[in-house]
Structure 1
Amino acid sequence: MLARLDAIDRKILAELQEDGRITNVELARRVGISAPPCLRRVRALEDAGYIRGYRALLDEKRLGYEITIFALVHLSSQADADLTAFEAFVRAQPLVRECWMLSGEVDFILKCVAPDLKTFQAFVNELTGAPHVRNVKTSLTLRVSKDAPSVPMERLPAAL
């Protein structure tokens, strides 16, 4: 396990965020070390949990998911068993892409995609009947102003 991220580790993480398909040889060149220690460092970063995985970022609209909606969900109970039941329901819903538990007035915010409003409305009907749901408020997105799935490497605390 890594005790601390040094400058090379930070460069490796930044490069992999930009291009997860980069070859180890090219990655090593960009961060200024040879390929074998670069590969060891990447594996150590993976083992330590800094790198959770690799995936392709797909364009949902090109794949037929024309609308993105945020749903604010307020539950009637915040007991652990009730939160767990709602979270299990959400994990089983393919239209839900993200689910975040919040503090404050709203218990959860869901980011959802759907091919059309009819499909989404059917999902909302199911969502309002989910365990312990008091009410649901939805907002259709009009456009994306920023979509940055990466961690801001330039702002990492020095203590890491």
Structure 2
Amino acid sequence: MQRLDEIDLRILHELQSDGRISNQDLADRVGLSPSPCLRRVRRLEESGVVAGYTAVVDPASVGLDITAFVRLRLDSHGTGVAERVEEAIRGIPEVTESYLLAGDHDYLLKVAARSFPAYEELMRTKLRAIPAVSSIETTFAISVTKPSSPLPID
């Protein structure tokens, strides 16, 4: 793992707040001249510390009114099962995040759907088709109380 110094951490903090910041503005904010700042950003990108840049889209603005958190329990944990499950999960566009868990459930999925009937169809045709799934439990979000936020980099 790459060792990060105080300037790297300040760069990461600024990029998390505004991924479209110009190199000049970023350099000014972290106390570097533009060339060394750009070299550091490129090094952070190439090493995978900065994994990418995205736009944050409001789900309701694109008709995705339902957010569901889905817990999956598997009936088998044999050789290759996890790989097949995770491959199936990655192939479902409505699953926006997926986590392997320790505890009572095996996976936690965050799902975006247009409506409750659309979620039901997704559950019936895609989630139940995931290999080795023995149970599916769903919790629907009523509202967002804290949107996705930057990592607490110190």
TM range (shorter): over 0.9
Which string of whole-angstrom CA distances, capped at 9 and with x for unpartnered residues, describes residues 81-116 of structure 1? Answer: 111111111111111111111011100011001000
Q: Tell me how far apart the structure 2 counterparts of residues 80 and 30 of structure 1 sit (CA, whole Å).
A: 50
Establish whether residue 8 from structure 1 lines up as the match of residue 13 from structure 2. no
Q: Which runs of 5+ in 1 are unaligned?
A: 155-160
Q: Which runs of 4+ in 1 moved over 4 A?
A: none
Which string of whole-angstrom CA distances, capped at 9 and with x for unpartnered residues, describes residues 14-71 of structure 1? Answer: 0001000000000000111110111011111112221111111111111000010011
Q: Match of 2:118, SS?
A: helix
Q: Tell me how far apart the structure 2 counterparts of residues 130 and 53 of structure 1 sit (CA, whole Å).
A: 28
Establish whether residue 40 from structure 1 lines up as the match of residue 39 from structure 2. yes
Tell me which residue corresponds to 1:86: 85
Q: Which amino acid aligns with 1:146?
A: K
Q: Which amino acid aligns with 1:55?
A: T
Tell me which residue corresponds to 1:55: 54
Which string of whole-angstrom CA distances, capped at 9 and with x for unpartnered residues, describes residues 134-159 of structure 1? Answer: 010101111111123421113xxxxx
Q: How many residues align?
A: 153
Tell me which residue corresponds to 1:131: 131
Q: TM-score, normalised by structure 1?
A: 0.91
CA 1:47–1:128 in 2, change beyond 3 Å: closer, same or farther? same
RMSD (Å) for aligned C-alpha atoms? 1.3
Q: Tell me how far apart the structure 1 counterparts of residues 101 and 71 of structure 2 sit (CA, whole Å).
A: 10
Matched residues, percent identical?
39
Q: Tell me how far apart the structure 1 counterparts of residues 18 and 79 of structure 2 sit (CA, whole Å).
A: 39
Offset of residue 5 of structure 1: 1.4
Q: Tell me how far apart the structure 1 counterparts of residues 73 and 153 of structure 2 sit (CA, whole Å).
A: 34
Offset of residue 80 of structure 1: 3.6
Tell me which residue corresponds to 1:97: 96
